[in-house]
Amino acid sequence: MLVTGSDILVPARRNKYGVPSFNTNNLEITQAIIRTAEKLRSPVMVQISEGARKYAGTEDLANIVADLAHRASIPVAIHLDHGSSYESCLSAIRAGFTSVMIDASHHDFEENVRETRRVVEAAHAMGVSVEAELGRLGGIEEHIVVDEKDAFLTDPEEAVRFVEQTGVDYLAIAIGTSHGAYKGKGRPYIDHARIEKIGSLMPELPLVAHGSSGVPKEIVERFRAAGGEIGEAAGIADEDLERASKVGISKVNVDTDLRLAFATAVREVLQQSPKEFDPRKILGPARDLMSEIVAHKIRVLGSEGQA
Ligand code: G3H
Ligand code: 13P
Ligand code: NA
Ligand code: ZN
């Protein structure tokens, strides 16, 4: 069933589990996400970025997701990932999104508040829930000094003021994660104390972690073995996500892992079967490998069996 982001994230926060929010760009990715979540009885969020809207067309992609969501027996939300403006959030809502992110985190605090509040007022009038972001995403070294961490990771007191002033439904915080396949050397450092602090100051508010792909070693090695080139890739450890989801991180954004799985499976088919040119034989294995990633994330976050 198609529901709002809050319908999924409020119970997740209350019952101390995380829900993955996967980026989609096409039919196969969407099927891997929703079919797997249904199999594991997990709520799930499907998110569409501005780039995805450009690539697939907002209506085409939103309609694919909405149709699968409507027919699924689990709660599914369609979320705008990193919405760039008020106008973009509103056009997404018109296209059927049930959750939008307004990302004004690159602006100063006051401007971020103003932009976010505008979106919250409009979205709430239409029954859609809203995510905003405070802080700057980026990998951090375990031993960097406190001042430097404070410079870009989310400040707990500021987060409280931001939520009070905007009325936002869930808040993305900077805690050491970063986008993409290169999140730092070895095991990227996650500021658990900061998550716990923000979580304890706002015990009802679902928190969001962007940049939460695990970049699994096995997939990276398969990608290389199939001719792919990738440097010193590193993702967020399962243990870190599991721990964070118990103390406030309710929405966990994952894109890179699905991209890697997709590209790896496609490379393997084309390498192993040079005579193959049936798109179904090429994209089917990609859908299967993405489904494994989806299942793994659901289990790590504890959302299996919650729907
Ligand atoms: O946060 C970014 C997501 O991975 C979406 O990426 O803007 O290339 O679609 P994209
Ligand atoms: P990853 O690059 O870690 O998959 O993060 C995706 C994301 O945060 C989308 O908003
Ligand atoms: Na988002
Ligand atoms: Zn993101």
Q: Is the CB of 259 under 6 A from ligand 1?
A: no
142 has a pLDDT exceeding 90: no
- Model-level pTM? 0.98
Please report, for the chain, the start and end positions of each structural domain, with discontinuous segments joined by +: 5-216+235-254
Q: Is residue 81 flagged as an active site residue?
A: yes
pLDDT of 205: 98
133 has a pLDDT exceeding 90: yes
Q: Is the CB of 212 under 6 A from ligand 2?
A: yes
Catalytic residue among 7, 60, 67, 81: 81
Q: Is the CB of 23 under 6 A from ligand 1?
A: yes
List, for residues 193-244, the tens digit of each pLDDT value. 999 999 999 999 999 999 999 999 999 999 999 999 999 999 999 999 999 9
Q: How confident is the model at residue 128 (pLDDT cuts 50, 70, 90)?
A: very high
Q: How confident is the model at residue 27 (pLDDT cuts 50, 70, 90)?
A: very high
Distance from residue 277's CA to the centre of ligand 2 (Å): 31
150 has a pLDDT exceeding 90: no
One-letter amino acid at 55 equals Y
The CATH number of 5-216+235-254, from 2.60.40.10, 3.20.20.70, 3.30.1300.10, 3.40.140.10, is 3.20.20.70
pLDDT of 69: 98
The CA-based dihedral angle spanning residues 293, 294, 295, 296, taken in that order and rounded to the nearest 10 degrees: 50
Helices then strands, counting H and E runs in the chain, come out as 13, 8
Question: Is the Cα dihedral 262, 267, 268, 272 positive or negative?
Answer: positive
ipTM of model: 0.98
C-alpha distances (whole Å) from 277 to each of 121, 225, 295 are: 50, 21, 29
133 annotated among ligand-binding-site residues: yes
Q: Best mutation site among 84, 207, 255 for ligand 2, i.e. most ligand atoms within 8 A of its Cβ?
A: 255
Minimal-distance CA residue to ligand 2 atom 3: 211
Kindly give, in sequence order, each residue whose CB lies less than 8 Å from that of residue 193, ignoring residues fewer than 6 positions away. Answer: none
Q: Over pLDDT 70: what percentage of the chain?
A: 100
148 has a pLDDT exceeding 90: no
Q: How many CA atoms lie within 13 A of 306 on its CB side?
A: 27
**Cα-Cα end-to-end distance for the chain:** 11
List, for residues 153-166, the tens digit of each pLDDT value. 999 999 999 999 99
Q: Is the CB of 254 under 6 A from ligand 2?
A: yes
pLDDT of 151: 79
d(CA 287, CA 293): 10
pLDDT of 257: 98
pLDDT of 112: 98
Answer for the pair 301, 245: CB distance below 8 angstroms, yes or no.
yes
Average pLDDT, integer, range 180-194: 93
List, for residues 65-109, the tens digit of each pLDDT value. 999 999 999 999 999 999 999 999 999 999 999 999 999 999 999
Q: Is the CB of 210 under 6 A from ligand 2?
A: yes
Shortest-distance atom of ligand 2 to CA 81: 10
Q: Over pLDDT 90: what percentage of the chain?
A: 93
d(CA 282, CA 266): 6
Bridge partners of residue 46, in order along the sequence: 22, 78
Minimal-distance CA residue to ligand 1 atom 1: 179
d(CA 248, CA 192): 10
Mean pLDDT of the chain: 97
Residue 177, SS3 per DSSP: coil
One-letter amino acid at 92 equals A
188 vs 145: which has the higher pLDDT: 188
Minimal-distance CA residue to ligand 1 atom 10: 51
130 annotated among ligand-binding-site residues: no
d(CA 1, CA 37): 12
